[in-house]
């Protein structure tokens, strides 16, 4: 069994066990403030994927210190990544966000900045800021693509075209910023072929990392209403493991896998309930991968991105 894990990458990059600290910038999202919509993406909960992040009502440095204190109860390390997680963290004036990002990077235990956002919410001045920050410490940008199937994307109310994503990836990587892409497995109406097509798409474009996510149904989302009505099914554990193994084997070997699944807040999780037992899922997944002899890149169709994309 082999896959290029985030843990392996971080130890090589920073020469230490490194943990991400989930922080909040106070940004909203164009899918929520009325620019594109008011209800968010179909699957998105009220916290905007930031259920485990620090609250944005306190200064960033205090958020960092509190998050370090929480992690330090379990592990001992002095190497952390400032991860601005909730909602769209470039969707605000540079004048508002620059002090937050710089303050986080100034902490002596912060080794890198990671910013979750949307490709349609990075303006020219924000690119300039990100490039400037990357000269201080490494900067990662996480983009929520979810799927390359634009029919599914419309159903999700994603709100941007694949061409917008491609432009953002090209600009970021040309500027020396690592790009991590979020993909969701088990989206409504998607087959195994659709999931693998999304993998082929990001492999062809060229990304540095990927977060693979099981579709969760969370309380308070429009997806929850569809699930209650019987219009949306979720994957069983065995189905998810099987799809996941095929996806991992399709990914190029140099793409870092930042996550193999996710865990929604238990207080909000409606389905699949099997995903709530994180330890059990992790152990069963590892056994499945070992038994199947999963090897990242075994079925890779795009060993290198198209060089014309970065010319």
pLDDT in tens, 7-40: 999 999 999 999 999 999 999 999 888 888 888 8
Mean pLDDT of 182-210: 97
Residue-averaged pLDDT of the chain: 92
What CATH topology corresponds to 6-310? TIM Barrel (3.20.20)
**pLDDT of res. 266:** 85
DSSP characters over the chain: -B--BHHHHHHHHHSS--EEEEE------TTTSSSS-SS-STT--TTTT-TTSPPTTS-HHHHHHHHHHHHHTT---S-EEEEE-SS-TTSS-HHHHHHHHHHHHHSTTEEEEEEEE-GGG--HHHHHHHHHHTTTS-EEEEEEEE-S-HHHHHHHT--S-HHHHHHHHHHHHHTT-EEEEEEEES-TT--HHHHHHHHHHHHHH--SEEEEEE--EETTSHHHHHHHTT------HHHHHHHHHHHHHHS-TTSEEEES-----TTTEEE-GGGG-HHHHHHHHHHHHHHHT-BTTTT-S-SS--GGGG-
* Domain locations in the chain as residue ranges: 6-310
Q: Is the pLDDT of residue 222 over 70?
A: yes
More confident residue, 152 or 86: 152
Q: List, for residues 98-148, the tens digit of each pLDDT value.
A: 999 999 999 999 999 999 999 999 999 999 999 999 999 999 999 999 999
């Amino acid at each position: 069994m082999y896959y290029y894990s985030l843990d392996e990458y971080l130890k090589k990059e920073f020469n230490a066990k490194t943990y991400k600290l989930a922080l909040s910038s106070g940004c909203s999202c164009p899918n929520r403030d009325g620019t594109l919509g008011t209800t968010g993406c179909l699957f998105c909960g009220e916290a905007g994927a930031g259920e485990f992040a620090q609250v944005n009502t306190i200064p960033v440095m205090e958020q960092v210190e509190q998050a370090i204190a929480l992690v330090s109860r379990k592990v001992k390390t002095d190497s952390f990544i400032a991860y601005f997680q909730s909602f769209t963290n470039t969707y605000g004036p540079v004048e508002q966000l620059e002090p937050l990002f710089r303050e986080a990077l100034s902490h002596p235990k912060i080794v890198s900045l990671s910013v979750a956002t949307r490709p349609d919410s990075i303006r020219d001045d924000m690119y300039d800021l990100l490039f400037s920050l990357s000269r201080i410490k490494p900067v990662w940008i996480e983009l929520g693509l979810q799927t390359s199937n634009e029919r599914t994307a419309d159903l999700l109310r994603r709100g941007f075209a694949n061409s917008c994503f491609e432009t953002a990836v090209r600009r970021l990587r040309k500027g020396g910023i690592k790009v991590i892409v979020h993909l969701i497995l088990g989206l409504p109406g998607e087959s195994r072929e659709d999931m693998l097509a999304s993998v082929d798409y990001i492999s062809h474009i060229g990304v540095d990392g990927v977060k693979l996510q099981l579709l969760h149904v969370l309380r308070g989302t429009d997806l929850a209403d569809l699930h209650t009505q019987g219009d949306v099914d979720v994957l069983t554990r065995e189905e998810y493991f099987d799809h996941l193994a095929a996806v991992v084997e399709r990914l190029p070997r140099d793409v870092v896998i930042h996550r193999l699944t996710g865990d929604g807040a238990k207080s909000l999780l409606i389905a699949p309930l099997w995903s709530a037992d994180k330890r059990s899922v992790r152990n069963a997944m590892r056994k499945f991968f070992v038994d199947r002899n999963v090897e990242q890149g075994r079925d890779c169709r795009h060993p290198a991105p198209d060089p014309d994309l970065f010319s």
